[in-house]
């Protein structure tokens, strides 16, 4: 099925560990982004990319790295996990003119840092 | 400082009636607005959007109204159906970067 695929769906990390959240889309979307959602909060932008080789920071980038080597993939790396990074992470993609088409979101990765 | 505000955490509406979800914003640079629907354990799903040059956009049972002078938008769902029970997020954008989301309103459709 066409769409945005996130792996893993669930993950438990110990403080200080690193890991990579995977995001892949098969719709040839130029734009990809990562959000986190905390209880009682809206989604907050972590990093985004307007095309392969181009990334930029969002509202809450600290503690996270991204790269965009291909159009399809946009992994999010946690360098040294902290309990404050316990959250649900969503990857989203869209065509360049996202005003018209909105964003397609993945189903999320629920991360717990202990 | 919250730039997009959804002041009602929850809303209960009887099946068949109209659901009205409200959203206020403070950033005058926002030039388009979107509504997303989210079920538990799923990602948000795009519902409808509106550009700041318009004051209304319709798509089937969903209509979004924009009042720029009041910095207010609303989503109307008519008639409300049981499958509409979900969390609804208002979001806004001002350019090349991502969306600014409100905290969401949990809509409950009662039979």
Alpha-carbon distance values, B58 to B14, B50, B88 (Å):
22, 9, 17
Q: Give bridge partners of residue A75 from the DSSP assignment.
A: none
Contact A75, A88 (CB under 8 A): no
Average pLDDT over residues A25-38: 94
Distance from CA of B50 to the nearest CA of A (A): 8
Of A42, A48, A105, the CB nearest to B43: A105
CB contact (8 A) between residue B101 and residue A104? no
> How high is the pLDDT of residue A1?
61
Beta strands per DSSP E along A52-94: 54-57, 64-66, 76-78, 87-94
> How high is the pLDDT of residue B40?
92
> How high is the pLDDT of residue A99?
66
Is the preceding omega at residue A38 within 30 degrees of 0, hence cis? no
Distance from CA of A68 to the nearest CA of B (A): 16
> How high is the pLDDT of residue A63?
96
When pLDDT is cut at 50, 70 and 90, the band that residue A2 belongs to is confident
> How high is the pLDDT of residue A40?
82
CB contact (8 A) between residue B102 and residue A35? no
Q: Give bridge partners of residue A12 from the DSSP assignment.
A: A112
> How high is the pLDDT of residue B1?
72
- The C-alpha atoms of residue A93 and residue B3 are separated, in whole angstroms, by 23
Minimum mean pLDDT range among A9-18, A39-48, A57-66, B77-86: A39-48
What single DSSP character describes residue A30? S
Contact A53, A68 (CB under 8 A): yes
CB contact (8 A) between residue A42 and residue B104? yes
A38 touches chain B (CB under 8 A): no
B27: three-class secondary structure by DSSP: coil
Q: Give per-residue pLDDT as tens, A66-90.
A: 999 999 999 999 999 999 999 999 9
> How high is the pLDDT of residue A100?
62
CB contact (8 A) between residue B46 and residue A44? no
> How high is the pLDDT of residue A39?
86
Distance from CA of A90 to the nearest CA of B (A): 7
Q: What does residue A106 show for φ and ψ, rounded to 5 degrees?
A: -75, 180
A18 touches chain B (CB under 8 A): no
Kindly tell me if the per-residue pLDDT of A101 is higher than 90. Answer: no
Per-residue model confidence as pLDDT tens for chain B (111 residues): 789 999 999 999 999 999 999 999 999 999 999 999 999 989 999 999 999 999 999 999 999 999 999 999 999 999 999 999 999 999 998 876 788 999 999 999 999
Q: Give the residue on A whose Cα is nearest the Cα of B40.
A: A107
A20 touches chain B (CB under 8 A): no
Contact A61, A36 (CB under 8 A): no
Query: Residues A49-84, buried b or exposed e (16+ Cβ, 10 A)?
Result: bbebeebeebebbeebebebeebbebbbebeebeee
């Amino acid at each position: 099925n066409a769409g945005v695929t996130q792996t893993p769906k669930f993950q438990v990390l110990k403080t200080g560990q690193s890991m990579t959240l995977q995001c892949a889309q098969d719709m040839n979307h130029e734009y990809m982004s990562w959000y986190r959602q905390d209880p009682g909060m809206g989604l907050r932008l972590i990093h985004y990319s307007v095309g392969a080789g181009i990334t930029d920071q969002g509202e809450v980038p600290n503690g996270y790295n991204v790269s965009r080597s291909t159009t399809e993939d946009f992994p999010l790396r946690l360098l040294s996990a902290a309990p404050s990074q316990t959250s649900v992470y969503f990857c989203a993609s869209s065509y360049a003119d996202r005003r018209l088409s909105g964003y397609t979101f993945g189903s999320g990765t629920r991360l717990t840092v202990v | 400082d919250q730039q997009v505000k959804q002041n009602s955490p929850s809303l209960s509406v009887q099946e068949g009636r109209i659901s009205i979800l409200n959203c206020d914003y403070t950033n005058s640079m926002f030039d388009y607005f979107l509504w997303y629907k989210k079920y538990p354990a799923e990602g948000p799903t795009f519902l409808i959007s509106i550009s700041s040059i318009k004051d209304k956009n319709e798509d089937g049972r969903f209509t979004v109204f924009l009042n720029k002078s009041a910095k207010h938008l609303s989503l109307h769902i008519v008639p409300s159906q049981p499958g509409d029970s979900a969390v609804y997020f208002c979001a806004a954008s001002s350019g090349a970067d991502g969306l600014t989301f409100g905290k969401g309103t949990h809509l409950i459709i009662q039979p």
